Structures are given as structure tokens and as C-alpha cells.
Amino acid sequence: MNLLLDLKHLKLISLPTRPVICKCLLVVIGLIVLRAIVSPFLAINLSEKSFYEPPTLDLFPGVRKDKFVEVPQIIWGLNNQKIAFARACLTAKFLNRSLLMPSLSASLFYKEVDLLQPIPFDKVFDFNKFNARCHGFARLAWYSEVSNHTEPYKLQKGSGRRWTVERDLDQLQESKTGEADNYQVIHVTGKHPFLWPDHWPVKDYAKVFDCLALAPEIETEVVKVISKIKDAGEKARHEAAISHNKKRIDDGSLNLPVQYIAVHMRIEKDWMIHCKKWEKRSNLKEICSSKGEIIHKVSQITDLRRPVVVYLAVADSLLEDDSVTSGWRVGMIAYEKKKLGVTDIYKRQPYLIKSAIDFEVCARADVFVGNSFSTFSNLVVLSRTERMYKLGVESSCGEDVGLSSYAYNVIGDDGGPQRWMTDMLDTSLQRISYGTNNISCH
């Protein structure tokens, strides 16, 4: 009797719940259908994420915010300073510490260290954007974050042939877990960061470089220069149309975005002396290029519709030489800072910021042509290769895929300049720091 009542009671309870179960099933089915529709778009977004982001990043606790690494003032040219900064960041990351914001050098002196003009990192690059972009990978810290003002731990970098890469890595490993880790600040002394032994792969350096964004006031100057280049391109396009007695070009090319080529032209006297000695010492013949050779190589590039502006990133010593912009092929209109009318933008800036502006103008060009033994050119190509990888392009061989880069000092298979992408699988920055003619298009 009791069992019968229980069954009836169960039946009475279960009847009202059936509509609820049906509704739940409909909701589940709806979610499955929605996911099937949306997932392709999610996949596109995921493919555009930087390939440098480690897939297991969330498994790590992140960089400690209460322990720090301090490095000496970073010196030499812009790109040596960028490499030195990245090496300091990666060293701090290895020690699971934040890097105290370093001083860069506004002036360029290789031997007269006393003449170096320090400039805070955040006067050149955006501090907050760096930390936002590098979140979970590396971190910069203000000196005001240091709470313990006792003497830091002095980490002396070794020197000489006996100080091998292995010994340096052992020292870092010991500092990660030994006595040094008890200190809030590890102060690295000895060699400047650019000269530290290299333990990190190219993709790690690329990640740090990707986190660097120019300070807003410098970014404004970059935009002004690129705008001037595109104005010159627009003018050349209209003049070409008029010269053909047309009010407009029939194929609609007047409405296409204005593009430009940037050429890092190394033909200044001190470079030519240096590279000739380099060629003789290394028994290589693909380091130096004359102005005529560069013009010939660039004229063989067919990626862009002509007429096209060729922006020449040249040393200041060449700005008084009007012949630099002459002799170019028909349809290639060469400009440098003076001819472009932007010398006032550069004159009011110290050396480091002038270089930073030129770097970005070259990095953002539709086509870039440089010298594979130049650190400047190498880092421009690294930046462009990184952007191509983000777009899912891992080779620039064959047809134009956008953001093409070339080395005018290396002959390609077609007899023109060699197409050039950075080898992202390289285990060190050696070839980028010191140059190589062993480059390829993938």
C-alpha cells in the first residue's frame, strides 16, 4: 500500500517537470547550434594571435612584482640598445623578476662613455603599453616599487675567453635559487647587456620587441613623416596621369592606397671603409654595395605599382649630397629627409629618437630593402617577419604577399635582391646582431 502511494506521489511530481526538461533540452540544442555558427569566427581570431604566445602561459605564476633586476645604463646605437634591453628583460624573466626601468643613451658615443647622455626608457618607449603587451611574459618596474633600500646583491658578469656561455648560464641558475634570490634587488655589474652571453631564442627577443611601442609624442612624428611620403606619392601619381594626357587612370589606380619603398642605404664613407675591411677579413664579397648597385637592385623589385616613392634612410652626412636622390629608374622617385621637407622634425631630436623615427618609417613601408650585415636592417626585417607570422604567412618566396623585405647586398635566385625573412627558429640572436649573408625568404 505504501509503495503504491509512493509511486503515485512520484508520478504526480514528475508530470509537471516534463516541460522543464524539454525547455532545458531546447536550450542545450540551441547552444550547440550557436557554437557551430560562431566557432569559425573564433578560429580566425585565434589564428591572428601572436605565434610567440606560449600555449601554456597560464600555467606559470607570472613575473614577480616584489623582486627586481637592475642593469647598467644601456649604450651605443638604437638597435644595439634595443637588443641590450631585450636581453636584460629576458634575463630578469629567467630570474622570475621585474626589470627596473633602465636608462637608455640619447647620444651615440662608442668610446667616450663620459659624453653619453642618459635618457629614461619612458621618454622613448611607452612604459604602460610595454607591460600591457608583455603581460605574463616580462615586466618593467618603477624604482618607487622597491621597498627595501638596503644594498642590492651585486651580480658580477664575467669576461674573457674563460667566461663561457655555459658558465654564464650556471651563474644565472645559481642566482635564481641561491643566496641572491633572498635580495629584493639584483644589480648586474660588469659588461653592458649587449655584450652579455646570449641564452635566448630569436622568438623570445621578437616577443620583447613586439611589446615596444614608441612614446606618444614620438609616434606623432613618425605619422607626420609617413604622411609626407604618401603626399609625395600622391603627387607623383597625379603627375604621371597628366603626363599621359589623362584626367584619371582608367584602371582606377588613383583610388588605391599610396604605397612606398624604404631603403636603408649604407654608403656613407665610414661604413664603406669598415665594410671593405670586413669583407677582406672575413673573405666575403656580399657586404658592401655602392649607390649604383643599390639602385640597380631596387629597380628589379616589381612588388609595387609605379610611380612609387623610394624613401632613403641615410646617414645625416649624406643629406648635403643631392646626388643621393638622383640616378633612379623611371617611375621611382627618391626622397630623403631634406628633399621630403622633414628635417625640422629630426633636427629637434637627439640621435636615439631620430633613429627610432627612421626605424618605424622603414618597418611600416610596403616594401623594405636593407643590408643583411646591418643591425638596423636586421631588426626592421625581424619586425616585419613577426607581423607576417601573425597574418599566417611564413614564406615570402614567389609571389608578393605584402610586407616584402629584400637584402640588396645578397643576390637572389632571379638575379635581383634576395627576398628576406628572419629565421624565427634560430636559437640565438647572433646573426641578427652581427649580420650574415645566409638569408632566405622563409
Please report, for the domain that includes residue 92, its CATH number: 3.40.50.11340
Residues 224 and 104 in one domain: no
Task: Kindly state the DSSP code that residue 125 receives in the 8-state scheme.
Answer: B
Determine the pLDDT at residue 183: 97
- Same domain? For 191 and 293 the reply is no
The pLDDT of residue 105? 94
pTM: 0.83
Question: Is 347:369 a contact under the CB 8 Å cutoff?
Answer: no
Q: What integer is the mean pLDDT of 111-139? A: 89
- What's the one-letter identity of residue 315? A
Assess whether pLDDT exceeds 50 at residue 360.
yes
Phi and psi of 105, rounded to 5°?
-125, 120
Q: What's the longest Cα–Cα distance across the chain?
A: 112
User: Averaged over 363-369, what is the pLDDT?
Assistant: 97
Alpha-helical (H) ranges within 48-195 are 78-94, 127-133, 165-177
Residues 168 and 223 placed together within one structural domain of the fold: no
Residue 296's SS3 state is helix
Do 186 and 265 share a structural domain? no
Amino acid identity of 438?
N
Residues 238 and 314 in one domain: yes
> What average pLDDT score do residues 46-50 get?
36
**Residue 114 pLDDT:** 59
Does residue 229 share a domain with residue 188? no
Q: Which residue has the cell 599610396?
A: 258
Q: What is the domain range of residue 389?
A: 216-244+252-434
Question: Of all residues in the chain, what percent carry a pLDDT higher than 90?
Answer: 67
Residue 194 pLDDT: 92
Percent of the chain with pLDDT over 70: 82
Task: Tell me what pLDDT residue 302 has.
Answer: 85
Based on the domain organization, do 273 and 380 belong to the same domain?
Answer: yes
Question: Could you tell me if 278 and 183 lie in one domain?
Answer: no
Q: Which CATH number goes with the domain that contains 315?
A: 3.40.50
Task: Report how many domains make up the chain.
Answer: 2
For residues 230 and 202, the answer to whether their CB atoms sit within 8 Å is: no
Distance CA 198, CA 430 (A): 8
Cβ proximity of 203 and 382 under 8 Å: no
Alpha carbons 143 and 412: distance in angstroms, whole number? 50
CB neighbourhood size of 265 (10 A):
26
Same domain, 226 and 343: yes
The string of pLDDT tens digits covering residues 264-322 is: 999 999 899 999 999 999 888 889 999 999 999 999 998 888 999 999 999 988 988 88
Determine, yes or no, domain membership for 7: no
Residue 205 lies in a domain: no
192 and 222 share one domain: no
Q: Is residue 233 part of a domain?
A: yes
Mean pLDDT of the chain: 85
Q: Is the pLDDT of residue 156 over 80?
A: yes
CA distance 295 to 290: 9
* Residue 328 pLDDT exceeds 60: yes
> Of 50-54, 84-88, 159-163, 426-430, where does mean pLDDT reach its minimum?
50-54
**Of the ranges 27-41, 200-214, 394-408, 422-436, which one carries the lowest mean pLDDT score?**
27-41
